[in-house]
Amino acid sequence: MSKTTQETESQNPNPNIILFLCRWCSGKGADLAGTSRLQYPPNVLPIMVNCSSRIDPQHVVEAFLEGADGVLITGCNFGDCHYKTGNYKTFRRMSILSKLLKQVGVSPKRFRLTWISATEAAKFAKTVTAMVDELKKLPPYKINGKGGEEL
Amino acid sequence: MKKINLAIALGATCAGCDVAILDLNEKILEVFDLVDFKFWPTAMDFKIDDLKNLKDGEVDVGIYHGSIRTTEDAEIAKILRKKSKVVVAFGACANFGGIPSLANMPYEKSMFDVVYKDVPSMDNPEGTVPQTSITIKGTELTLPGIRKDADALDAVIDIDYYVPGCPPMVPLIEQVVEVLKVFASTGQLPPKGTVIADTKTLCEECGRTKPEEISFKDFISPQEVQEIDPDLCLIPQGIICMGPATRAGCDALCTKMNVGCRGCLGPTDKVKDHGLKMISALTSLLDVDVEEDMSEEELHKVVDKIPDPLGTFYRFTYGKSLIYNLHSEEEIK
């Protein structure tokens, strides 16, 4: 592949992704990916919280406003939540939020929610790689100029 | 006592705010004793030139209601600012962009195409859309231009006081009259940037009983409501109520009538984004019985009861919300 085609394919060679991990499953899964020396792109900035339900929709929106190209939220599988029902709350909250983000024009590819258990290191690496690859194809996220010019 | 010079100008508005002022009933007589109207086109015979011909700073209090939708709205707002010592943003549209600002939502097509060509009830075979000027038999006719976005008043001018509400309710307008009275007799005004409404949330004002633990099983759309307990908080009954994040001051008008709060007074000082906080609150209060046995598809059905989160949670405040800054037209293409 020549260099030029590579450049046109990846519009954004370095996407910034904010990754929210829960302490009990996904965080452990990410640790396992590290100790098992699985390769995944360094474009993610992990933020560990006690439970995925700790993440307020406002955190996600502010991540985008501060310049993130994507936000990935990971939590325990259904039924595995350390706090019993935390991930159900995350699910409901984030599915309404993703609908809302779609309405204001944020591509659904930029916002993802997945469940990763403590043993699923491979799934973790795969999810992160897939998301980074997808965002490389999109232009960097920029907030469009709103303002009062005439139509 | 010297009378206050008052001007009431308007932008993209339904004029409900004007009607709300007249709703003061007998208290309106006090207003007439207190003020001299320099401009109020909805209620009296005033033209824009009457405002233009005033001296700069001649108006003591300028009230503006409606959002900034056309170039003319922006121009009137700027003239009002020049002529007034104090400008008050009156009503949800001037404060947060209001319902007109929902049109700022990004569409694949332009707003004119949606409104003048694609609406099923529209019969427009020639595809005519409003023009800013047209010449008919040698005479040029003009219309104000439409701005790209409908904004809140503070997008174009500096504002001194805020009176939210859709429209501002009588108790709020009474507070404004009190402020005007103090101003007329002593010349004193509250600090700049004051919101003339309560600082607490609606729940503090709403008389419904709140159970110790609030949770509900399912979102209930307004048309599905069968029976409402008139004394119990609306949220445990499954009705979406924006009360927990909304500013008090309306005397709980809607919840008294068994209707969930729609958030027209906007967020309180401590809430950064009205809708996001409500999404967060309502989804955690949802307590689905057999969640553990449900498939992901069934779980989706629970939240699909809110088909339009933007219209539900940002009915009045989209123009001033955090998510409005995310606004991206390029992405949806």
Domains held by chain B: number: 3
Beta carbons of B286 and A65 less than 8 Å apart: no
pLDDT range class, residue B38, cuts 50, 70, 90: very high
pLDDT range class, residue B27, cuts 50, 70, 90: confident
Q: Kindly indicate whether the domain formed by A13-137 is annotated with CATH number 3.40.50.960.
A: yes
Each residue's pLDDT tens digit, B95-112 = 999 999 998 888 777 788
Each residue's pLDDT tens digit, A78-101 = 888 899 888 889 999 999 999 999
Is A64:A71 a contact under the CB 8 Å cutoff? Answer: yes
Sign of the dihedral defined by the CA atoms of residues B224, B229, B233, B237, in that order: negative
Is B7:B64 a contact under the CB 8 Å cutoff? Answer: no
Provide the whole-model pTM.
0.88
Q: For residues B251 and B23, give the distance between their C-alpha atoms in angstroms, rounded to a whole number.
A: 15
The CATH number assigned to the domain holding B80 equals 3.40.50.700
- ipTM field: 0.87
Each residue's pLDDT tens digit, A23-50 = 999 999 999 999 999 999 999 999 999 9
pLDDT at B326: 84
pLDDT at B332: 57
Q: Percentage of chain B surpassing pLDDT 70? A: 97
Beta carbons of B328 and A142 less than 8 Å apart: yes
- Dihedral (Cα; B12, B13, B15, B17), 10-degree rounding: -120
Does residue B36 lie within any of the structural domains? Answer: yes
pLDDT at A2: 46
Check whether residue B171 and residue B228 sit in a common domain: no
Sign of the dihedral defined by the CA atoms of residues B268, B273, B275, B280, in that order: negative
Check whether residue B13 and residue B35 sit in a common domain: yes
Bridge partner list, B12? B67
Is A103:A97 a contact under the CB 8 Å cutoff? Answer: no
Region for B165 from its dihedrals, namely left if φ exceeds 0, alpha if ψ lies in -120 to 50, beta otherwise: left
Check whether residue B171 and residue B59 sit in a common domain: yes
Average pLDDT of the segment spanning B279-299: 81
Check whether residue B130 and residue B276 sit in a common domain: no
Please determine, for residue A143, whether its predicted confidence score (pLDDT) is greater than 90.
no
Q: For residues B312 and B144, give the distance between their C-alpha atoms in angstroms, rounded to a whole number.
A: 31
Check whether residue B157 and residue B232 sit in a common domain: no
Check whether residue B143 and residue B181 sit in a common domain: no
Check whether residue B181 and residue B47 sit in a common domain: yes
Does residue B288 lie within any of the structural domains? Answer: yes
Distances (CA, A) of B77 to A61, A89, B16, B145: 31, 45, 18, 15
Please determine, for residue A6, whether its predicted confidence score (pLDDT) is greater than 90.
no
Check whether residue B263 and residue B313 sit in a common domain: yes
Distances (CA, A) of B154 to A63, B59, B67, B165, B310: 25, 19, 10, 16, 22
Check whether residue B157 and residue B250 sit in a common domain: no
- Of the ranges A115-129, A131-145, B293-307, which is most confident? A115-129
Does residue B191 lie within any of the structural domains? Answer: no
| Domain boundary assignment for chain A | 13-137
Quick one: which of B200, B272, B208 has its CA closest to B235? Answer: B208
Beta carbons of A96 and B306 less than 8 Å apart: yes
Q: Percentage of chain B surpassing pLDDT 90? A: 57
Please determine, for residue A75, whether its predicted confidence score (pLDDT) is greater than 50.
yes
Structural domain span for residue B162: 4-100+150-186
Beta carbons of B145 and A104 less than 8 Å apart: no
Check whether residue B173 and residue B236 sit in a common domain: no
Considering chain B, what is the average pLDDT of its residues?
89
Check whether residue B228 and residue B282 sit in a common domain: yes
Check whether residue B257 and residue B111 sit in a common domain: no
Taking any CB pair shorter than 8 Å as contact, residues of chain A touching chain B are: 53, 56-58, 61-62, 64-65, 78-79, 85, 88-89, 91-93, 95-97, 99-101, 103-107, 139, 141-144, 146-151
